[in-house]
């Protein structure tokens, strides 16, 4: 599975599409995520995969939706090469009311969408932030592209779960209209899109390939596929230093408690589940650093 990229022959519309089922299933397995977090992280992963495929080798896109609802936030990151990962602070969250079991908008609440774009040889990534307009991820990304980059787009992201809450399919498409396009072409695309009844995740479940589910959107407009030969993969580049560093968010009191127990402990990367051993001395030095930084 890889991100497929297409461009119309007049170069005014570009489309990226992906079947990300395996990567989203892997995320759900590693994080033991419940339906709402799975749908949210899954959609963000698909969005990040699609957006990063339009960049250059080595570049990354991070998508952060930060709301005031019980799910807290959703984060996904992908690079041009199709390596993708995701994080949610409350993967275990389940809505109280049955009618809200799949209501991502309600679980996320009101908030902001921030998209970062990292580039090799540049220290600071580029950040853009907009208000969330729907909390369903796809519409929020479309809103961001319009507000921050003046790009009109269609963003369709989907995760399909079975009755046990397990991922059956996941994927989506991102269609972007470039400046200078003929309005008649835009009308044609809009009309094509309006006649699409089925969600992308259902089309993938039915066995359609990215090329097959993109085709109806570009009906009547000649287009070409661009090479993009990277296998999509759930991949976490965590290092012991970074994961252990996260312990400093615990604060001095908690660290002291752990130190007092005089046992080597273990921390787990929340994105991939990998475990790292932490020695008591390491806890001591984390505490010392915290103490120093809290003094000024």
Which residues are near Zn ion by CB under 5 A? 236, 238, 269, 271-272, 274
Cβ-based nearer residue to Zn ion, 50 or 236: 236
Q: Specify whether the CB–CB gap between 176 and 217 falls below 8 A.
A: no
CA distance 142 to 287: 43
83's CB contacts (< 8 A; 6+ apart) are 233, 235, 237
Residue 2 has what DSSP assignment?
B
Which tokens sit at 279? Answer: 């020695």
Closest Cα partner for 31 from 163, 39, 104?
A: 39
Tell me if 113 sits within 8 A of 130, measured CB to CB.
Answer: yes
Minimum CB separation of residue 243 from Zn ion in Å reads 7
Shortest separation between residue 26's beta carbon and Zn ion, angstroms: 12
Structure tokens at 240: 């012991």
CB of residue 58 to Zn ion, shortest distance in Å? 20
Pair of tokens at residue 76: 């996904």
Question: In this complex, which beta carbon is closest to Zn ion, that of residue 63 or of residue 236?
Answer: 236
Let me know the angle formed at the C-alpha of 86 by 109 and 165, rounded to the nearest 5 degrees: 70
Is the Cβ of residue 250 or residue 267 nearer to Zn ion in the bound state? 267
Residue with token string 């009844």: 197
Measure the CA–CA gap between 47 and 17, rounded to whole angstroms.
10
Q: How far is the CB of 293 from Zn ion (least distance, A)?
A: 25
For 283, residues 6+ apart whose C-beta sits below 8 A from its C-beta are 247, 255, 258, 259, 265
């Amino acid at each position: 599975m890889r991100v497929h990229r297409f461009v119309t022959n007049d170069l005014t519309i570009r489309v990226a599409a992906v079947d990300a089922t395996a990567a989203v299933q892997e995320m759900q397995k590693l994080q033991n995520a419940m339906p709402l977090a799975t749908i949210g992280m899954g959609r963000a992963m698909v969005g990040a995969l699609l957006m990063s495929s339009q960049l250059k080798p080595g570049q990354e896109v991070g998508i952060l939706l930060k709301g005031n609802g019980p799910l807290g936030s959703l984060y996904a990151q992908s690079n041009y090469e199709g390596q993708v990962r995701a994080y949610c602070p409350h993967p275990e969250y389940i809505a109280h009311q049955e009618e809200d079991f799949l209501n991502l908008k309600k679980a996320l609440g009101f908030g902001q969408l921030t998209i970062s774009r990292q580039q090799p040889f540049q220290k600071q990534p580029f950040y853009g932030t907009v208000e969330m307009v729907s909390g369903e991820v796809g519409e929020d990304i479309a809103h961001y592209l319009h507000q921050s980059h003046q790009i009109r787009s269609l963003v369709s992201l989907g995760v399909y779960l079975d009755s046990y809450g397990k991922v059956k399919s996941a994927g989506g498409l991102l269609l972007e209209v470039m400046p200078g396009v003929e309005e008649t072409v835009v009308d044609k695309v809009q009309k094509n899109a309006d006649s699409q009844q089925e969600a992308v995740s259902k089309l993938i479940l039915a066995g359609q390939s990215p090329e097959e589910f993109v085709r109806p959107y570009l009906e009547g407009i000649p287009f070409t596929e661009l090479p993009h030969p990277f296998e999509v993969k759930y991949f976490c580049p965590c290092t012991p230093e970074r994961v252990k560093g996260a312990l400093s968010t615990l604060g001095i009191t908690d660290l002291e408690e752990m130190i007092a127990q005089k046992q080597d402990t273990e921390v787990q990367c929340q994105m991939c589940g990998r475990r790292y051993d932490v020695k008591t001395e390491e806890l001591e030095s984390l505490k010392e650093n915290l103490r120093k930084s809290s003094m000024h």
